[in-house]
Structure 1
């Protein structure tokens, strides 16, 4: 892999991740990594015909998850190069097909984009999770889900005034389903793992969201769908989250 790292941060996590990734997969385009001091620029990836560009904060580049984060982004680049449906299908098109003529809350529309990103992440992570120990990834899921639960609204819930995704119990439950599904998809969890307790706590806060239903959808994603099958699965997933039973039947 042709990789170049610049900026005020360590190159080792990216070079190490590149060496590990290329034992199984090969990127055709070079990768340019730019480390920035801005902590809000956690990661951002762009692509053109000449190269992939990864912009990452120094905070993320020096974290314990730096190598795994690099592997994750390399996997997204690989899926993009190979034109995998998850990485070329327009989310806007999926939302139009799924929700045309329906009245949907703005917050749920925003969450649908996050759900689409979860699906992209699953297809990316399928490429690299087996290349590195999964303990750090599971600990990351634990810490982020625990933080989301701690940030949930009080009961009775006030009007939606906060703007973080963690403050909304519905998407927190979907996030929990994603974490369980990805972990189970790669056999990273033992029975009784604390992540299950956190996920079920999230589900109790979101009675209108089926934790098991979304976990099943994420867990059973076809590893090699064609464009039509992928679009259909995304339309169904979007409708399940955004519409109530009456709207979905319509």
Structure 2
């Protein structure tokens, strides 16, 4: 694996490279560009010449830096090998799922986020066999706790002027977090993540937490294109309809 780091510390990314290359390889070179802005989100792009990972300095120097690098290397691995989760057009699947339906703009945005969760499941399947999941559990727990605490409290006749977590996508995110932890046996039944997930579900009556957890956790480890497209269409319909069980049938 050929990894070049620009703009910041190379150690986490080179350490992740050394670990990743014990099991997998990337045919194209990777350029990691570390940006100073703390608001810079982790982004990956691909072309015929290589892969590019853009990440904030804050993330690149965090305790999760190596795990983030492993996660993104796994996405690159799936991209190079044409894994259905990374070749399926998200736009096409969402169009198939929502044809003839009227969907709020915020829900449409969330559908893209849910599609990214499905890609993440397959990326995490790759790297979770290489490194302990303790840091990931802590990250998911902290993120979910922050989202639950930031849920909006509406007052009749008031217009909300400050951003807050959307209860419905927060509940889906909770289902994703639990599914990921259960898929890789990362937490026990009494873990605080379950309490946080149930709190998130309580705030989103139209989201069936168990049904969405099943969507993520039961993804086939080696799907063909048709199987993955159906899974993506099903979960999209489930979220857009507000009735996970009926939409998935």
**Shorter-normalised TM range:** over 0.9
**Count of residues paired in the alignment:** 246
Distance 1:16 1:244 in 2: 43
Gaps of 5+ in 1: none
For normalisation by structure 2, the TM-score amounts to 0.94
Q: Which residue of 2 aligns with 1:3?
A: 3
Instruction: Give the CA deviation at 1:42.
Output: 2.7
Structure-1 residue corresponding to 2:168: 170
CA distance in 1 between counterparts of 2:155 and 2:33 reads: 45
Aligned match of 2:202:
204
In the TM superposition, what is the alpha-carbon distance from 1:54 to its structure 2 partner? Answer: 0.7
Q: Determine helix, strand or coil for the equivalent of 1:130.
A: coil
Quote the residue 1:26 is aligned against: 25
Change in Cα spacing, 1:240 to 1:157, as seen in structure 2 (3 Å) is farther
User: Where does residue 149 of structure 2 map in the other structure?
Assistant: 150
| Superposed displacement of residue 80, structure 1 | 0.4
Secondary structure in 1 matching 2:5: strand
Cross-structure match for 2:68: 69
Name the residue aligned to 1:228: 226
SS in structure 2 of the partner of residue 33 of structure 1: strand
Distance 2:157 2:63 in 1: 36
Partner of 1:131, secondary structure, is: coil
Residue 161 (structure 1) shift: 4.4
Q: Contact between 2:74 and 2:124, CA under 8 Å: does it hold in 1?
A: yes
Unaligned 5+ residue runs, structure 2?
none
**TM-superposition CA deviations, 1:194-243 (whole Å, max 9, x none):** 01110011011111101000001100001111111111111111101101
RMSD value over aligned CA atoms? 1.8
Q: Identify the residue that residue 110 of structure 1 maps to in structure 2.
A: 109
Structure 1 runs (4+) greater than 2 angstroms displaced: 155-164
Equivalent-residue separation in structure 2 for 1:173 and 1:157 (angstroms): 23
1:186 matched to which residue of 2?
A: 184
**In structure 1, C-alpha distance between the alignment counterparts of 2:174 and 2:30, rounded to whole Å:** 32
What's the offset of the Cα at 1:30? 0.7
Q: Give the direction of change, closer, same or farther, for the CA distance of 1:238–1:104 in structure 2 (3 Å limit).
A: same
Query: Residues 230 and 146 from structure 1, CA distance in 2 versus in 1: closer, same or farther, beyond 3 angstroms?
Result: same
Deviations 1:141-176 (A, max 9, x none): 010001101110115587774685x52100000000
Shift of the 41–212 alpha-carbon distance from structure 1 to 2, 3 Å rule, reads same
**In structure 1, distance between residues paired with 2:105 and 2:80:** 32
